[in-house]
């Protein structure tokens, strides 16, 4: 063996032959870190609550909130959830039914866009929640007034996103489709609708957040049932643990709906997700 060959062999041995695989903790850190943060915060909160012994009328901590939640679950929670859920769903459905046709038409027609965009934008940016008391006067204490509040809050984000979606349809794609023989119907079905879909889901995501606010605030203002009503009642009774348990129910519900929509967006518009990741 020549000296050079020996040298090559030695160097070869010292080189790592396989890429190093990082440990389980490192590989899953993106998932683990948020969980760890939440657990840490809960632990500190719980510890503080137990050690400090603050007045339970003004302060509560996780284990107390948990038992407050159990109390709620044995009591009015489910019927409240049913009422609030109905208001939320009904409001969202009506919003979508109004927003989809109007948004699509406004995106397609330049004149209608010019005519109505200022009004729609103004209504979108105004905190229309100030109209809630009037809607209560019109529609009463029951479900209808909350549905109305959700509708005036949630219609506009869906509408605006649809309009922008149609207006942002890639012109080159339209040209390509036309060049390859698409008729008007083909253009709408094969180009406009698919490119609008991610905008629609973005609109829905914004609308869901606003609908939640609408339901809760509506019930706060005037109602006899619902999660918002329950929270308000508990707050006034200084039943702080139950009150915070109600808040937690809302948090869990919101996060679940948001995650569902994110999942939908990934499923229905995978190219968009990937494009963002790529850049």
Q: Is 121 in the site for other proteins (CB under 8 A)?
A: no
Residue 179 contacts other proteins per CB under 8 A: yes
Whose Cβ is closer to other proteins: residue 141's or residue 174's? 174
> What is the rounded CA–CA span in Å between residue 275 and residue 127?
34
| Closest approach of other proteins to the CB of residue 271, in Å | 4
CB atoms within 10 A of CB 65: 23
Can residue 180 be called a binding residue for other proteins (CB under 8 A)? yes
**Binder to other proteins among 45, 62, 144, 178 (CB under 8 A)?**
178
To other proteins, the closest distance from the beta carbon of 177 in angstroms equals 7
| Piece in contact with other proteins (CB under 8 A), picked from 100-108, 143-151, 172-180, 207-215 | 172-180
What is the separation of C-alpha 153 from the centre of its chain, rounded to a whole number of angstroms? Answer: 15
Which residues, in sequence order, are CB contacts of 148 under 8 Å at separation 6+? 91, 135, 138, 139
**Smaller CB distance to other proteins: residue 142 or 198?**
198
What is the per-residue DSSP string for 205-244?
A: HHHHHHHHHHHHHHHHHS-SSSHHHHHHHHHHTT-HHHHH
- 175 lies in the binding site for other proteins (CB under 8 A): yes
CA 149 to mean position of chain CA atoms: 18
Residue 55 vs residues 60, 66, 70, 240: alpha-carbon distances, Å:
8, 18, 21, 10
To other proteins, the closest distance from the beta carbon of 118 in angstroms equals 26
Cβ atoms of 129 and 214 closer than 8 Å: yes
In whole angstroms, the minimum distance from the beta carbon of 278 to other proteins comes to: 7
Q: CB of residue 73 vs other proteins: minimum separation in angstroms?
A: 43
Q: Is 271 in the site for other proteins (CB under 8 A)?
A: yes
Residues that bind other proteins (CB under 8 A): 172-173, 175-183, 186, 190-191, 194-195, 197, 269-272, 274-275, 278
């Amino acid at each position: 063996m020549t000296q050079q060959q020996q040298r090559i062999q030695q160097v070869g041995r010292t080189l790592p032959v396989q890429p190093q695989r990082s440990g389980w903790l490192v590989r899953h850190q993106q998932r683990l870190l948020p969980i760890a943060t939440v657990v840490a915060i809960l632990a500190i909160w719980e510890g503080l609550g137990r050690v400090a012994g603050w007045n339970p009328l003004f302060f509560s901590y996780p284990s107390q909130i948990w038992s407050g939640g159990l109390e709620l679950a044995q009591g009015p929670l489910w019927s409240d959830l049913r009422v609030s859920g109905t208001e939320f769903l009904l409001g969202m459905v009506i919003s979508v039914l109004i927003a989809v046709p109007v948004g699509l038409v406004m995106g397609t027609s330049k004149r209608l866009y010019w005519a109505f965009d200022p009004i729609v934008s103004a209504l979108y940016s105004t905190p229309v929640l100030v109209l809630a008391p009037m809607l209560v006067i019109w529609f009463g204490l029951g479900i209808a007034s909350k549905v109305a509040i959700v509708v005036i809050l949630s219609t506009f984000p869906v509408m605006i996103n649809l309009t922008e979606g149609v207006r942002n349809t890639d012109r080159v794609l339209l040209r390509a489709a036309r060049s390859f023989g698409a008729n008007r119907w083909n253009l709408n079905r094969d180009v406009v609708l698919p490119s609008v879909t991610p905008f629609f889901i973005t609109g829905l995501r914004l609308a869901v957040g606003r609908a939640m606010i609408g339901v809760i605030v509506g019930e706060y203002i005037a109602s006899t049932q619902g999660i918002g009503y329950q929270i308000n009642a508990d707050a006034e009774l200084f039943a702080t643990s139950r009150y915070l348990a109600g808040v937690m129910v809302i948090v869990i519900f919101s996060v679940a709906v948001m995650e569902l929509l994110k999942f939908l967006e990934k499923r229905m518009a995978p190219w968009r997700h990937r494009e963002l990741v790529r850049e």
